[in-house]
Structure 1
C-alpha cells in the first residue's frame, strides 16, 4: 500500500479512498496511512460485502419477510415531484408513506411539464425500521464463521454461566468460535439453529445477553465501523426491496440453501459455497420513478 500511495494510485481510486487520504495525510505517516487502508479494505471486502449478500439472500428468499420489509421501508419513503433530473424544486409536492399531502389522488410518474415522481429513502429514518436491523443482526448471528483470538495476560478462572468453570493460565491463547457461540441453545433458545427474522426486534420476549452476540467482535477490539456497516447494509437492502425483484435463474437451484464457504477462518463472514444466479427485475409498481437516498 505504501507503493500505491507513492505512485499516486489513490488519485484514480474511489471518492472514499481520496477523502480518507486527504483527511489522514496531515496527521499520519505514509506507513500508517497504508496500514489504515489495508484495514478498511479488509473490513469492506472481506466482511461487509459477504454480510450484505447474506442479508439480501435472507430477505428475498422468504416472501413473507420481503413483504414485511417493503411495507416498513415504504413508510419512510418521501415522495415528491421534481423537474428533469428528479432533484426537485421549490414547488415540489411531498408526501410520506404513499399519500400525497396536496390532496391529489392520482399516481403520476411524469406530468405535462416533465416533472417526475421522486422517491427518497431517508437515511436518518432507517433506524425506525426495527425489522430491517433485526434481519441484519440475525444474519450476522446465523452466518457467523469467524473466530475471536484472545491472549491471557494473567491466570484467570472463567465460568460459562451455567455449571462449568475453566482455569486459563497466563500466556495461553484462546480461540473463540463465533459459530458455536451463536448457535448455543442455552443462550439463544431452542430455535438457535433457525433463522428468525425478528429475533433482535426490541421487546422480543427472549432476552439476549449482550456478550453473546459477536457479529462485530467485542470488548476493546469491537469493530469501530459497526454503526456505519449496519446503516450501509440497511440502505442497500431498503433500496433493493423497493426497486427490484430477484428471480432465480432456471436450473440454478432457486432459493435453496447455497451453503457457506468456510475455508478461511480469518473471515467473520464468508461467501456462499454455491453461486446464486438471479435475474434482477425492476418492479412494475414503481416503473418510471426516480429513486434516491437522502
Structure 2
C-alpha cells in the first residue's frame, strides 16, 4: 500500500504549488484527506480491474504503477524489459501473468517452458502477423485480403513447413553457400593485395557491407540482376527499416511522418526489388532456390494468387531476414575473437589450419589459399570455432518471440509442472532472459566465454537454455547458411590477416557498447552503429598477395 501511495502522490502537486497557483479551494484545503481519498479510490479501482486468474494460470505480477506500469517499462526498457521484471522477482517465477491495464499477458522465462511453448501449435503467430502485415508491408487492398485469408494462412504454413526448409538444405544450401564463399574469396583476395592494408574507420559498417554483399549475391544471382548491386542504398534501407519496425507495426496515422525513416526505407526496398520480380529474374538458374520458390508460390498458388505488384512488398522480408541478424552477429563474432587472449587465438588458428585448410603459404604454396567450409564441417570438426559462434549468439541475441493462445492449452516442463494458458492471451518468450540467466550459465553469464561450450557438463545447459534460432515450426531455416558464411569470414581473418584496433586513435581493444535492444529485433547492435570503433587490417607476413579459394565441404 505504501508503494501505491508513493506512486500516486509523486504525481500530485504540493500545497505550496497549489497556493502559488491560486487554485486552492475549500474542497482541496485538506491535502492529506485528498491523498487518502485518491489512495482508496485507486485501491478500489485496482481491485475491480485486476484480471481474474484461474488458479492453474501463471501467477500474476502487478506493475509498480497500477494498470500501466508494465506497459511503460516495456517501451522504456525494450528487450531488457523481461530481464528486469524477472530479476525483480528474484527469478522466482518460470512463467508469469503480467497485468496490462485490466488485461494480462503471459511471460515465459524458463527455457524448458519456452521449449514447450515453441512446440505447442495452439500458440500461434498468425493473429500477430495478420495484425502487422498491412502496417509493415503496405500491400494493396486485394493483396492484404489474400494474405490474411484462410487460403493465405494455408499458403504461409506450406511455405514455412515445406518450401522454405527444402530451399535451404541439400543441393540448394550448397549452391547458396558456394556463391557466398566465392564472393568472399574475391573480397579477401583484393584485401590481401594491398601493400599497406586497409584502415577501416567503422568496423561494424565494413563487416555489415561484407556480409550483405556476399548474401545478396547468393540470394539473387547474377550481378546485373542483384537489386543490392544495382541500388547501393538498399543495404542501409534494410537496417533503417528494422530500426523502425516498432513504429511501423503500431499503425500510427500518417506513417510518412510518424515513422518517417522506416516508411522511406520500405519505399527504397520495394522500388529496388520491383525490377527483379517484375522481370522474373528469379527464374534464371543463378538465383537461389529460396528466392525462386517463394516468388513462384506467391504468384501462382492456385488457391491464393497474390497480385504481381504486391510480391516486392512481401519479399522485402527476405533480405531483412537474411541480413538483419547475420550482420551484427558477424561483427560481434569477429571482435570477440580478435580481442580474445592470445592463447585462445592460437588454438583457434591451429584448429582452422588443421581442419579447414587444404593449401596455404605455410605449406609451401604462396600463391593460393585453399579452404573448405560448410556448416557440417564446423559442427563436427571445429569445436572451438563452433563454440565461439554459439557463444556470440548467446550473448548478443535478445529476441522476444510473441504468440497468441488460440485455444485454452497447457505448457509443462520436464518435471511435470504445468501452467494453463487461456485463449486470446498474448504470450512473450524472452531468449535474452534465458541467455543471460546466472542460474543457467553462472555468474559470468554476461561474458563472452566460449570455453563453457567445451565442458561436457554444460552440454545439457546448452541444449536447454540456448534458443537463438527460435523453435518448433519457426526454427530459423537459414541458420546453417549463416554458420558457414560467418565461420568462413572469421577463419580468413584468423589465418591470413593481422588486425589491430584503432578506436578513436587508441590501439587497444575496447569494444563498443550495446545499443538498447528493441522489442522487435533479435540481435544487439553496437551503439551509434559502431561509430568510433575502427581497425587496421593487413595481410600476415608471408600471406601477402595470396589468392583465396574457398570451397564447399561436401
Q: Specify the TM-score bucket, using the shorter chain as the normaliser.
A: 0.7 to 0.9
Distance 1:10 1:19 in 2: 17
Corresponding position: 1:56 with 2:334: yes
- State the Cα distance separating 1:231 from its structure 2 match: 1.3
Looking at structure 2, the residues matched to 212 and 17 of structure 1 have their Cα atoms a distance apart, in angstroms, of 39
Task: Indicate the residue corresponding to 1:79 in structure 2.
Answer: 359
> Aligned pair in 2 of structure 1 residues 167, 108: CA closer, same or farther (>3 Å)?
closer
The answer as to whether partners of 1:147 and 1:266 remain within 8 angstroms in 2 is: yes
Change in 2 beyond 3 A, CA 1:27/1:156: closer
Work out which of the residue numbers 372, 395, 398 in structure 2 matches 1:122.
372
Do residues 136 (structure 1) and 389 (structure 2) align? yes
Kindly indicate whether the alpha-carbon contact (under 8 Å) linking 2:370 and 2:548 is maintained by their aligned counterparts in 1.
yes
Q: Which 10-residue stretch deviates more, 31-40 or 117-126?
A: 31-40
* Residue 230 (str. 1) matches residue 483 (str. 2): yes
Q: Within 2, Cα distance between the matches of 1:69 and 1:44?
A: 27
Secondary structure at 2:548 match in 1? strand
Answer yes or no: is the 8 Å Cα contact 1:119–1:291 preserved in 2. yes
- 1:277 CA displacement: 0.8
Are residue 42 (structure 1) and residue 320 (structure 2) matched?
yes
- The answer to whether 1:180 aligns with 2:433 is yes
Asked if structure 2 preserves the Cα contact closer than 8 Å seen for 1:79 and 1:119, the reply is: yes
Distance change (3 Å), C-alpha of 1:146 and 1:77 = same
User: What is the deviation of 1:66?
Assistant: 2.0
Kept in 1: contact 2:409–2:420 (CA 8 A):
yes
The SS at the match of 1:200 is helix
Residue 217 of structure 1 deviates from its aligned partner by 1.0
Larger Rg: 2
**CA deviation after TM superposition for structure 1 residue 200, in Å:** 2.8
Per-residue Cα deviation, 1:107-129 (whole angstroms, up to 9, x for no partner) = 453xxxxxxx3221111444411
Report the number of matched residues: 262
Alpha-carbon contact 1:2-1:31 (below 8 Å) kept: no
Per-residue deviation, residues 22-75 of structure 1 (Å, max 9, x unmatched): 555554414685366323211232100001111001100113322221111111
CA contact (8 A) 2:330 2:486 kept: yes
Is the 8 Å Cα contact of residues 144 and 268 (structure 1) preserved in structure 2?
A: yes
1:124-156 superposed Cα distances (whole Å, 9 cap, x missing partner)? 444411111111111101112221112122334
Q: 1:22 to 1:163 in 2, by over 3 A?
A: closer
In the alignment, structure 1 segments of 5+ residues that lack a partner are: 82-97, 100-106, 110-116
Which protein has the bigger helix share?
Answer: 2
2-side partners of 1:58 and 1:129: how far apart? 17
1:255 aligns with 2:509: yes
Contact 1:10 / 1:18 at 8 angstroms: preserved in 2? no
Residues 134-173 of structure 1 aligned to structure 2 (within 5 Å): 134-158=387-411, 166-173=419-426
- Picking from 254, 279, 282, the partner of 2:539 is 282
Cα offsets for 1:66-92 (capped at 9, x unmatched): 2221111111211179xxxxxxxxxxx
CA contact (8 A) 1:134 1:197 kept: yes
CA distance in 2, matches of 1:140, 1:118: 32
Higher strand share: 1
Structure 2 residue aligned with 1:7, among 253, 269, 275? 275
Secondary structure, aligned partner of 2:513: coil
1:259–1:3 distance in 2 versus 1, CA, 3 Å = closer
Query: How many angstroms apart in 1 are the aligned matches of 2:397 and 2:273?
Result: 34
Task: From the superposition, tell whether residues 188 and 154 of structure 1 become closer, same or farther in structure 2 (CA, over 3 Å).
Answer: farther
Residues 401, 430 of structure 2: 8 Å contact kept: yes
2:139 alignment counterpart? none
User: In structure 2, how many angstroms separate the alpha carbons of the residues matched to 1:199 and 1:191?
Assistant: 10
Query: What is the CA distance between 1:288 and its match in structure 2?
Result: 3.4
Is the Cα contact below 8 Å between 2:398 and 2:524 reproduced in 1? yes
Q: TM-score, normalised by structure 1?
A: 0.76
Q: Quick one: distance in 2 between partners of 1:25 and 1:43?
A: 16
- TM, length-normalised to structure 2: 0.42
Q: Deviations over 1:223-245 (max 9, x none)?
A: 11111111111111111211212
Aligned to 1:67: 346
Uncovered stretches (5+) of structure 2, i.e. residues with no partner: 1-268, 300-307
